[in-house]
Structure formats: structure tokens, C-alpha cells
């Protein structure tokens, strides 16, 4: 479809749907979305990103994941449709993490939702942005309220003056984590690129072509890791291909033109589906540690049918990795949790470095591509918790009393309150190389330095002892006025409201 094509306006929305806001709650938003014709979309999300025993993990707004992927790509524009408060927060966080481009925004009101004018505004904004001199693609993202209201991005043109238009829905009530939102956009872009390839010749990728088959890498990694991985697979006659999510549109063509796909991060369900549709085999795990690298190289060898001589040549890298681990040992008990998708790989490397890792929690779901890592960890006595909640992670922290806690911001905060050294997973651990010989030293350096601060943490805990917590935090001249009677009355009021809501559902 071109920019000159016309589309029928979407059906006007029911006033009840238009009146929804972020405060409505996930259940109400989900019901409204289904009523607006998005039941199939939500069913697809539930299949691709299944929830665990909890409603969903406590991570940041999932749309940040897809937003970040788009902002990191060259010649790709970004347009958000959602509540102003959500767009402000997402824009702020994206620039906090180094985005150097504007985030487009299409505002709305109840009137524009009810009349369908919001869709027309989005379409006009896309036409206004679609400058082929600036963009290869424009990503349009529906946040919670437009998705719940059924704003149909599928009716946007596929392209305008050669600029590709990618419309995605990333509602917080359908996508559990920001990591999996990356997959929503990566899968949509791969699907578009695959259709372009099927339609005829496409532009040559900017990178110089290699004379060897390539292995596409799935998942965001530290820049040194693809280099290390390429060195490991070179004896097998392979080269490291593009990393998905890509940084430039034409990389998608090279990513699809591969001998196989290494699902380094195992949660990219939609992306895997596109690679499988293109006939590309997938393998999980990653070359971390000695045992992990040996098993992974054997899996790659089997994938491409490499001769035994090539496999033996690839294994020549193992002694160097073993020596690097021995030169940077880690001694201590460590609990590990996060929402990046690489938690199991980091745990393997910690254990091979000598650490005791009794608990690993990941906000991502169980996947075929993480099965081998989970089995390896469980064989060594590690409890692996998929779709782990903050309560799971804090319970492990309190029950196991580790020498070091690696986790999300609230887990790190809880650890410090207990006087336990802690490291933030996203900024301090996932931003380090993990693969090959380069993977051993940095992790040990960070972990050992943090554990050496235990006495300082205990001193800080003692210094702040007695200042209170929660609503009694601070230094008080007298005792805080807690008013337990008011709290009890308010709790009864809330309970009465819950019972009334439950009775209304039964009617």
C-alpha cells in the first residue's frame, strides 16, 4: 500500500471505551480492548508471552523496550500514541538512557477517541513525518489507552514515498515486560523485511559481505560479545552475523540470510517465528564459561553439520577460557535476579567462576531456548524461578542471606536496607562482556569489589538504625502518630468495596 492509497475510517468507539484511562486497571483495559476488536491481538500476546502465577512481574512500562529498539536504529522515526503522562515518562526514560532523537507524539481526547479522529490524526502525522531523505522506516506505537480503545494501526499505509510504516500495539496489560516488548518490534520488522525479500530484490546491507555462512545473534549484547563469539565459531567455518534487534534497516536482510540463529536471549518469540518461517534453525544458550562454551560449540557444530576436525579446532579455545576463570575466581554466595533475559547465562558464569548461586529469578517466561541453561543450573542446586516477582526475589534475599545480591532497583534497595552488598543487574552486570575469555574478568572484578564492602554496608545500616521505614521514615522528636484506628476503618472500607465489585461481577 502506498501513501496515496485511501483507507476507510475506523468504526467510532463506544463512549465507555473512550473514557478509559491508565487508572482503570489491567482487567478493565483488557475487557475494553477485547470489546474493541483486539481479542485476537491479546490472545497472540498471551501465547507468545505467557504469564506465571502472578499477574505480571513488576518491571518498568513495557513500551520502553520497543521504544528503545526504535531509537537505537539509524534512520528510523518514532511516533507514540497514548496518555500524555505515559509518553512523558517514556520520553524521559529514553533520553535518560542516551536517546538523541525526538519522540513523536499524537495527543488525543475522549472526543477524538469516540469519533475515530485519533486514527486520522495518527495517519496525518505519519504522512507528515514520512520523508525518505530522513527515514527508512517509522514506528508507530499504541500504548494502553489506544490499544484498549481499538485504534487500528493495521489500517495505516504499509509505506509512504518509500518510507516503511510499522504499527505495533504494546499495552501494559498485554506485554508482561519491557524485554518482551523489544521482541514485538523486532518481530514486526523481521516480518516486514521477510515480505520485502519475498517480493523481489532488496538493497545490499551496508556491512561488507563475508564469504562464510553467518550465525545471526538474537538479543542485545555488550559490544565485545559478538566479536568474541565470532572468534569462537571461526574454526567451524562460520562468521558472526547481524545482531537482532538491528541498528539499521538493511541489517534485517542479512539477519534473515543466515545459516542459523543463536537465541542468546531466549524471550524473542515473535522474532524466532519469523526466522523459522524463513527456514532458519534456532539454537539456545550462549558460549559462557568452559562447560557452557563447549556445549554451545557442539550445538552449533551439529546445527551446520561441521566435521569433527572443525569441532576439535573450535574446542581449542576452551583452555584459555578455563585459565581466565581460574585467574579471576569469585568466592561467596550470590542471589541473582533481573528482567533483561540473560540472568541464567550470568548465573552459569558466576558458578563456573566459583560462586555459590542458590537462586536465580528472571522476569521472563520459560522458553525452549533457555531449557538447557535452566537444567544445568538446577543440576547444581540452583533454584530457577521464571516470571519471578519482586516478592520472590526479596524472599530469596531474606532467606538465603547472600554475600552479594544482584538484582533490580527495588531488590538492591532491599539488600542495602539489610546491610547486604548489592549490584544493579541492568547497568552493572548486563553491561559487561560474558562470552569467551573476556567474560571472566569483569564479572569477578565487580562482584568481588562489592562483596569486600560488606563491613561498610553493616556500618551504614547501624548508622541509620532507628530512623523508621515507610510512612514513619525520618527523624522524629516524638513517636510518629500512626492512628491505627483510622487505618483499620480505611481497610474495612476497601474490603467492602472489593466485595461489592465481586458481587457486581457475579451479576
- Write the CATH number for 455: 3.40.50.1980
Of 319, 339, 363, which one is at a domain's C-terminal end? Answer: 319
Cα separation, 404 vs 394, in Å, equals 13
488 belongs to a structural domain? no
Average pLDDT value for the chain: 88
Alpha-carbon distance of 431 to 427, in angstroms, equals 6
Cβ-based burial of 128 (10 A; exposed 0-12, middle 13-18, buried ≥19):
exposed
> Within this chain, do residues 292 and 342 fall inside the same structural domain, yes or no?
no
Q: In this structure, are residues 64 and 178 in contact, taking their beta carbons and an 8 Å threshold? A: yes
CA–CA gap between residue 138 and residue 76 (Å, rounded) = 6
Same domain for 304 and 160: no
Q: Classify residue 487: in a domain, yes or no.
A: no
pLDDT over threshold 50, residue 369: yes
Mean pLDDT (whole number) for 59-63: 83
Clarify whether residues 80 and 220 are in a common domain: no
Residues 288, 344 contacting (CB under 8 angstroms)? no
Asked if residue 288 belongs to a domain, the reply is yes
119/506: higher pLDDT: 119
Position 319 scores a pLDDT of 95
290 plus 331 within the same structural domain = no
Of residues 440, 352, 350, the one with CA closest to residue 402: 350
Cα(314)–Cα(32) distance, integer angstroms: 55
Q: How many CA atoms lie within 13 A of 214 on its CB side?
A: 20
CB count within 10 Å of CB 139 equals 25
Q: Are 372 and 392 in contact (CB under 8 A)?
A: no
Question: CA-based angle 324:330:336, to the nearest 5?
Answer: 115
DSSP structural state of residue 156: S
Residue 498 scores a pLDDT above 60: yes
Are 417 and 437 members of one domain? yes
- 181 within domain boundaries: no
Residue 196 grid cell = 520485502
Domain match, 124 and 170 both: yes
Per the structure, how many domains does the chain have?
3
Q: What is the pLDDT of residues 326-339, one digit of tens each?
A: 999 999 999 999 98
In a domain, 348, yes or no: yes
The whole-angstrom distance between residue 88's C-alpha and the CA centroid of its chain comes to: 20
Smallest Cα–Cα separation from 9: which of 116, 84, 142, 92? 116
Per the model's pLDDT, the better-predicted residue between 301 and 506 turns out to be: 301
Last residue of a domain, one of 293, 319, 345: 319
Same domain, 151 and 239: no
Q: Omega into 245 within 30° of 0, i.e. cis?
A: yes
- Tell me what pLDDT residue 122 has: 96
Q: Nearest to residue 160, comparing CAs of 130, 196, 123?
A: 130
For residue 20, what pLDDT is reported? Answer: 58
Is residue 286 domain-resident?
Answer: yes
> What pLDDT score was predicted for residue 262?
97
pLDDT for the residue numbered 2: 37
According to DSSP, residue 454 is labeled H
Query: Count of CB atoms within 10 A of residue 56's CB?
Result: 19
162 or 506, higher pLDDT = 162
Cβ atoms of 364 and 267 within 8 Å: the answer is yes
384 within some domain: yes
Domain boundary among 319, 350, 377: 319
For the record, the C-alpha cell of 412 comes out as 538492591
Highest mean pLDDT among 37-41, 97-101, 432-436, 467-471 belongs to: 432-436
Do 25 and 164 belong together in one domain? yes
CA distance 397 to 390: 10
Judge if 247 and 314 occupy the same domain: yes
* DSSP states along 423-484: EEIIIIITTS--SGGGGHHHHHHHHHHHHTTHHHHHHHHHHTTTS--GGG-S--SS-----H
In a domain, 500, yes or no: no
382 and 440 in a common domain: yes
How much of the chain, in percent, has pLDDT values that exceed 90?
61
Same domain flag for 20 and 114? yes
Name the CA dihedral angle for 325, 328, 329, 333, rounded to a multiple of 10 degrees: -110
Same structural domain, 236 and 154? no
pTM, 2 dp = 0.86
Q: Give the pLDDT score at 439.
A: 87
What's the pLDDT score for residue 38?
77
Backbone angles phi, psi at 57, to 5 degrees: -65, 160
Where is average pLDDT lowest: 6-15, 147-156, 210-219, 358-367? 6-15
Domain residue limits at 34: 15-176
Amino acid at each position: 500500500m502506498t501513501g496515496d492509497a485511501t483507507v476507510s475510517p475506523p468504526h467510532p468507539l463506544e463512549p465507555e471505551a473512550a473514557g478509559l484511562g491508565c487508572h482503570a486497571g489491567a482487567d478493565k483495559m483488557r475487557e475494553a480492548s477485547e470489546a474493541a476488536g483486539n481479542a485476537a491481538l491479546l490472545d497472540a500476546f498471551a501465547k507468545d508471552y505467557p504469564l506465571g502465577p502472578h499477574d505480571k512481574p513488576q518491571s518498568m512500562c513495557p513500551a520502553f523496550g520497543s521504544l528503545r529498539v526504535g531509537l537505537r536504529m539509524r534512520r528510523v522515526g518514532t511516533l507514540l500514541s497514548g496518555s500524555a503522562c505515559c509518553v512523558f515518562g517514556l520520553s524521559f526514560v529514553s533520553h535518560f538512557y542516551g536517546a538523541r532523537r525526538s519522540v513523536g507524539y499524537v495527543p488525543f481526547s475522549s472526543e477524538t477517541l469516540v469519533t475515530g479522529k485519533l486514527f486520522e490524526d495518527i495517519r496525518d502525522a505519519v504522512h507528515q513525518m514520512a520523508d525518505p531523505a530522513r527515514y527508512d522506516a517509522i514506528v508507530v506505537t499504541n500504548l494502553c489507552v489506544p490499544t484498549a480503545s481499538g485504534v487500528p494501526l493495521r489500517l495505516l499505509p504499509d509505506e509512504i514515498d518509500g518510507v516503511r510504516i510499522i504499527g505495533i500495539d504494546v499495552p501494559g496489560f498485554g506485554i508482561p515486560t519491557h524485554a518482551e516488548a523489544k521482541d514485538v518490534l523486532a518481530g514486526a520488522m523481521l516480518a516486514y523485511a521477510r515480505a520485502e525479500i519475498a517480493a523481489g530484490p532488496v538493497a545490499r546491507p551496508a556491512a561488507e559481505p563475508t564469504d562464510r555462512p553467518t550465525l545471526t545473534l538474537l538479543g542485545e549484547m555488550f559490544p565485545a560479545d559478538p566479536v568474541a563469539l565470532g572468534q569462537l565459531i571461526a574454526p567451524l567455518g562460520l562468521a558472526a552475523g547481524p545482531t537482532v534487534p538491528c541498528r539499521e534497516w538493511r541489517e534485517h536482510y542479512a539477519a534473515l540470510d543466515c545459516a542459523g540463529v543463536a537465541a542468546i536471549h531466549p524471550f524473542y518469540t515473535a522474532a524466532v517465528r519469523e526466522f523459522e518461517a524463513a527456514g532458519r534453525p534456532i539454537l539456545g544458550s550462549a558460549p559462557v564459561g568452559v562447560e557452557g562454551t563447549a556445549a554451545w560449540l557442539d550445538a552449533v557444530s551439529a546445527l551446520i553439520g561441521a566435521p569433527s576436525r572443525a569441532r576439535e579446532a573450535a574446542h581449542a579455545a576452551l583452555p584459555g577460557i578455563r585459565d581466565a576463570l581460574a585467574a579471576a575466581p569469585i568466592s561467596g554466595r550470590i542471589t541473582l535476579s533481573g528482567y533483561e533475559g540473560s540472568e541464567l547465562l550470568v548465573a552459569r558464569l558466576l558458578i563456573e567462576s566459583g560462586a555459590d548461586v542458590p537462586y536465580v529469578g528472571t522476569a521472563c517466561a520459560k522458553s525452549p531456548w533457555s531449557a538447557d541453561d535452566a537444567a544445568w543450573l538446577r543440576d547444581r542446586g540452583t533454584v530457577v524461578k521464571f516470571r519471578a516477582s519482586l516478592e520472590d526475589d526479596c524472599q530469596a534475599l531474606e532467606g538465603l542471606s547472600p554475600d552479594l545480591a544482584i538484582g533490580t532497583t527495588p531488590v538492591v534497595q532491599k539488600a542495602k536496607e539489610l546491610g547486604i552488598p548489592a549490584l544493579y543487574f541492568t547497568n552493572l552486570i548486563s553491561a559487561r562482556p560474558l562470552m569467551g575469555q573476556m567474560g571472566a574478568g569483569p564479572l569477578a572484578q565487580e562482584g568481588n569489589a562489592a562483596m569486600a564492602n560488606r563491613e561498610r554496608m553493616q556500618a551504614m545500616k547501624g548508622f541509620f538504625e532507628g530512623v523508621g521505614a515507610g510512612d514513619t521514615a525520618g527523624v522524629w522528636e516524638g513517636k510518629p502518630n500512626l492512628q491505627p484506628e483510622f487505618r483499620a476503618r480505611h481497610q474495612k472500607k476497601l474490603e467492602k468495596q472489593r466485595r461489592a465489585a465481586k458481587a457486581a461481577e457475579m451479576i
